[in-house]
């Protein structure tokens, strides 16, 4: 009786409680079960040291190299692994199917949609074979989504477990990551947030940037700059990484509208480099049915309505061309709405007036000269 009481007293100590908690935690996982671990140390030549809710453990370092033998993992990352049990008091984990638990791990990876990482071993007409740990899996062409190269590493989702060869999908992995990213962005993004992405495409409407795993943000031409939005291939090119500010969010349609000009200093807020009545040399950017869009100095954009051109609308394309240099007079500046209206007709009228003034001056000089001559003759 006494010995039993001593045992209970021992268990009731803090150390005893901790021991029971450890046993309880360890009993939660069986061999092959998925578990999340936190990377604690990557300096050892053979193992990655991790921490989990059943204690510390190790994962083979070979599972985390790329084809250039660079580590693809960092301290502090949380990663999914599979439990391999305890050996010599140490918890062992893996990220790939490992004998003798290959099918068990594959089934768990499939059921829990846990990505597996493998290397493309051969490329076939119907898809490719991927080496994942000790097994060779097949990824059909319909599940690839992109061109792959031999020895390229891919993350895939197991969609079918077979004795001969299991089937995996890169497309399912991308879709899963896109959904995860979307859920994270729904929580973190709002109008006014700054995002960073690489340019996917540049077209006549604007710029599309990739936020990751196929989720995109669109920057309309009107949001590229406060000034000249004519695309400059030296400024914007595919795969260039840029920062943009979110101005619209619609998660039902996965529609994200962003702006570059919102990160610029607004030149319309201060004094402008021109005023009403100025005659400027401008360059035609676009020819519309109702007028001309022109580029002013310092990159500002202006508009010349058809009624200020004194040419019938249907003849604009015949009379003008893109990049043509012309003179125009500013007749209206609206800083609130950021609009500049110009006129060609007013320029013509101005120069006609100058010519008329010169004519009058010449007439006056001629009259004075004739008057002087007559005065001298009469004198």
- Report percent pLDDT > 70 for the chain: 84
In this prediction, residues 294-301 reach a mean pLDDT of: 84
Q: Which domains does the chain have, with CATH numbers?
A: 13-94 (2.40.50.140), 114-175 (2.40.50.140), 189-263 (2.40.50.140), 272-348 (2.40.50.140)
β-bridge partners, 137: 130
Q: What one-character DSSP code corresponds to residue 150? A: T
The answer on pLDDT for 23 being more than 50 is: no
Q: Six-digit token pair at 26?
A: 């360890």
Say which residue, 31 or 267, is predicted with more confidence. 31
Contacts of 251 (CB under 8 A, 6+ apart): 182, 186
SS3 225: coil
Q: Which pLDDT tens digit goes with each residue over 299-344? A: 788 999 988 887 665 678 888 888 899 999 999 998 888 889 999 9
Which residue in 340, 318, 326, 319 sits closest to 272, CA to CA?
Answer: 340
In this prediction, residues 143-162 reach a mean pLDDT of: 92
- pLDDT for the residue numbered 117: 94
Compute the distance between CA of residue 279 and CA of residue 276 in angstroms, rounded to an integer: 9
Query: For residue 139, which phi and psi values (nearest 5 degrees)?
Result: -115, 110
The answer on pLDDT for 140 being more than 60 is: yes
**8 A C-beta contact, residue 321 and residue 284:** yes
Cα-Cα-Cα-Cα dihedral of 307, 308, 309, 313, to 10°?
A: -20
**8 A C-beta contact, residue 311 and residue 345:** no
Compute the distance between CA of residue 173 and CA of residue 181 in angstroms, rounded to an integer: 12
Compute the distance between CA of residue 175 and CA of residue 278 in angstroms, rounded to an integer: 56
Contacts of 214 (CB under 8 A, 6+ apart): 174, 178
Q: What string of H, E and C letters represents the secondary structure of 18-67?
A: HHHHHHHHHCCCCCCCEEEEEEEECCCCCEEEEEECCEEEEEEHHHHECC
Q: Which pLDDT tens digit goes with each residue over 125-136? A: 999 999 998 899
Q: What one-character DSSP code corresponds to residue 77? A: -
Q: Kindly report the pTM of this predicted structure.
A: 0.60
Contacts of 157 (CB under 8 A, 6+ apart): 109, 110, 113, 115, 116, 168, 169, 172, 173, 176
Q: Which pLDDT tens digit goes with each residue over 218-267? A: 999 888 887 665 544 457 888 889 899 999 999 888 899 999 888 877 77
Beta strands in the chain (DSSP E): 34-41, 47-52, 55-60, 78-87, 90-94, 116-124, 127-132, 135-140, 153-160, 167-169, 194-202, 206-212, 215-220, 241-250, 255-259, 279-288, 291-295, 301-305, 325-334, 339-343
Compute the distance between CA of residue 161 and CA of residue 104 in angstroms, rounded to an integer: 10
Q: What one-character DSSP code corresponds to residue 71? A: B
């Amino acid at each position: 009786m006494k010995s039993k009481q001593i045992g209970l007293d021992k268990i009731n100590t803090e150390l005893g409680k901790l021991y029971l908690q450890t046993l309880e935690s360890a009993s939660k996982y069986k061999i092959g079960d998925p578990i999340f671990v936190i990377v604690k140390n990557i300096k050892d030549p053979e193992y990655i040291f991790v921490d989990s809710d059943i204690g510390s453990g190790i994962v083979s370092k070979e599972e985390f190299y790329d084809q250039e033998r660079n580590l693809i993992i960092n301290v502090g990352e949380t990663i999914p692994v599979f439990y391999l049990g305890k050996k010599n008091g140490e918890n062992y984990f893996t990220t790939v199917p490992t004998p003798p638990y290959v099918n068990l791990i594959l089934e768990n990876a499939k059921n829990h949609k846990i990505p597996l990482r493998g290397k493309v071993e051969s490329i076939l007409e119907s898809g490719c074979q991927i080496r994942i740990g000790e097994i060779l899996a097949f990824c059909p062409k319909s599940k690839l989504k992109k061109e792959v190269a031999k020895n390229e590493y891919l993350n895939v989702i197991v969609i079918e477990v077979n004795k001969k060869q299991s089937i995996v999908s890169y497309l399912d992995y991308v879709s899963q990551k896109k959904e995860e990213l979307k859920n994270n962005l729904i929580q973190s993004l709002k109008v006014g947030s700054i995002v960073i992405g690489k340019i996917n495409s540049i077209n006549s409407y604007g710029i599309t940037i990739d936020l990751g795993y196929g989720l995109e943000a669109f920057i309309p031409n009107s949001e590229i700059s406060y000034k000249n939005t004519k695309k400059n291939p030296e400024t914007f090119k595919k795969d260039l990484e840029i920062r943009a500010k979110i101005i619209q969010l619609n998660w039902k349609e996965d529609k994200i509208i962003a702006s570059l000009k919102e990160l610029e200093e607004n030149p319309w807020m201060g004094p402008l480099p021109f005023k009403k009545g100025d005659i400027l040399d401008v360059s035609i950017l676009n020819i519309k049915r109702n007028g001309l869009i022109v580029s002013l100095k310092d990159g500002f954009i202006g508009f010349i309505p058809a009624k200020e051109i004194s040419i019938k609308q249907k003849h604009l394309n015949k009379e003008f061309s893109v990049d043509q240099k012309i003179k125009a007079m500013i007749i209206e500046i609206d800083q609130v709405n950021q609009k500049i209206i110009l006129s060609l007709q007013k320029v013509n009228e101005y120069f006609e007036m100058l010519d008329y003034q010169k004519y009058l001056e010449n007439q006056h000089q001629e009259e004075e000269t004739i008057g002087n001559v007559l005065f001298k003759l009469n004198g």
